[in-house]
Amino acid sequence: MGKEYKKRIRLLGPVIAILTSVVLLNFLVFTSIKISRVAKEDVTDLKEFGKHYAFICDLDYNGEMWKEIFEGASKYAEKNDAYVEWFGKNLMEKYTKVDLVKMAVAAKVDGIILQGDDSEELVRQIEQAKYKGIPVVTLSKDCFGSYRNSFIGISSYNLGKEYANYLISNARPTDKSILVVIESELEDDREKLIYTGFKESMQARSGKVYDIDTMIVGRDVFEVEKSVRELLLSDEQLPDIIVCLDELTTSAFSQLTVDYNRVGESRIIGFYDSETCLYAIERKILEASLTTNANYMGTKSIDVLNDCAAGKVVSEYLPIDTQLITRANVKSYIDKKKYNESKQVQ
């Protein structure tokens, strides 16, 4: 028995060695083929650009508007020998805009496209970028007192007037109370100017006295939804008119008024043409919305950075027009969005 057992071991040894070699060989061949394919794809897809721009916005909520701004900037940049990188988007940890500007400056990018705000920290980081010779374009919100090269966006005061113009043109005798939804205690210059333009226009041109109040909802998704939910769940009568100044609050009211069965109790005027907003107008949840051309903002930011790189003088402020969306024209916006989505799929 002992000899037979040893014999079997001697016979099995070479067989196992051969099988192991075959498996290992197949693995190496498979791996080398796979690596070869990846290498070829990388070489094929690799493209060098003359300039590298950083795109920086609030990562807590960047909504459809910022995605469309980025797409507009990115596609246009490729045609102009530049690459736009959305800084921080694919990182595990969420960084503030201040941190992301620091990273962009450290990376020695050729320009920065930035969602501005009034924080002193951001103003200081823009100063650091200027010191390093990196031009900065602010979008949507400006950084007052900073060394940014140009601001591209809607005139905040005029946006307030546009909201007022719509309500005055579509006034109802029963309307008495108006609630303007804001992020903070009118500390933000953009919101302060919108509110001032709105209130002054309503008082000067409406021919009647409205009870105009504000509601603070905060700056992130959780805070906004919590504030809107509390309003809709309260026993108090809702205001006759609710005015939303940004995409986030518009989206919250569009969804939560349906969830809590309060559709039609207030005339809700929103901001931007997100998919949620458009379908809310179509379904009579929202009455109207003011919007802007986000794609155009993206392309103009590239023009400004390219001009800065070429040593040209750029305008400190590039105004962007607004458009009004109502049930009369909402279908054209929905059709356009569907068409753009189908082109991306192709």
Mean pLDDT of 180-196: 85
> What pLDDT does 279 receive?
97
pLDDT at 183 over 60: yes
- Please write the tens of the pLDDT for every residue from 57-69: 987 777 899 999 9
- Please write the tens of the pLDDT for every residue from 80-124: 999 999 999 888 888 999 999 999 999 999 999 999 988 899 999
Range in 128-142, 168-182, 186-200, 244-258 with the lowest mean pLDDT: 186-200
Q: What DSSP string runs through 209-248?
A: --EEEEEE--SSHHHHHHHHHHHHHSSSPPPSEEEE-SHH
Question: 338 vs 344, which has greater pLDDT?
Answer: 338
pLDDT at 185 over 90: no
> What pLDDT does 344 receive?
67
CB 265 within 8 A of CB 324: no
- The pLDDT confidence band at residue 7, using thresholds 50, 70 and 90, is very low
Domains of the chain: 51-153+294-321 (3.40.50.2300), 156-284 (3.40.50.2300)
> What pLDDT does 25 receive?
35
Neighbour-count burial of 165, counting CB atoms closer than 10 A to its CB (0-12 exposed, 13-18 middle, 19+ buried): middle
Residue 263 Cα to chain centre, angstroms: 27
**What average pLDDT does the chain have?**
86
**Considering the chain, what percentage of its residues have pLDDT values greater than 90?**
71
- The pLDDT confidence band at residue 43, using thresholds 50, 70 and 90, is very low
**Considering the chain, what percentage of its residues have pLDDT values greater than 70?**
84
Q: What DSSP state is assigned to residue 96?
A: P
Which pTM does this prediction carry? 0.83
> What pLDDT does 184 receive?
77
- Please write the tens of the pLDDT for every residue from 287-317: 999 999 999 999 999 999 999 999 999 999 9
- The pLDDT confidence band at residue 47, using thresholds 50, 70 and 90, is confident
- Please write the tens of the pLDDT for every residue from 157-179: 999 999 999 999 999 999 999 99
CB 208 within 8 A of CB 173: no
Tell me how far apart the alpha carbons of residues 206 and 199 are, in angstroms, rounded to a whole number: 10
- Please write the tens of the pLDDT for every residue from 218-234: 888 899 999 999 999 99
Tell me how far apart the alpha carbons of residues 23 and 191 are, in angstroms, rounded to a whole number: 67
Mean pLDDT of 31-60: 62
> How far lies 225's CA from each of 178, 215, 253, 280, in Å?
20, 13, 8, 17
> What pLDDT does 3 receive?
46
Three-class secondary structure of residue 288 per DSSP: strand
> What pLDDT does 206 receive?
81
CB 193 within 8 A of CB 145: no
Question: 31 vs 203, which has greater pLDDT?
Answer: 203
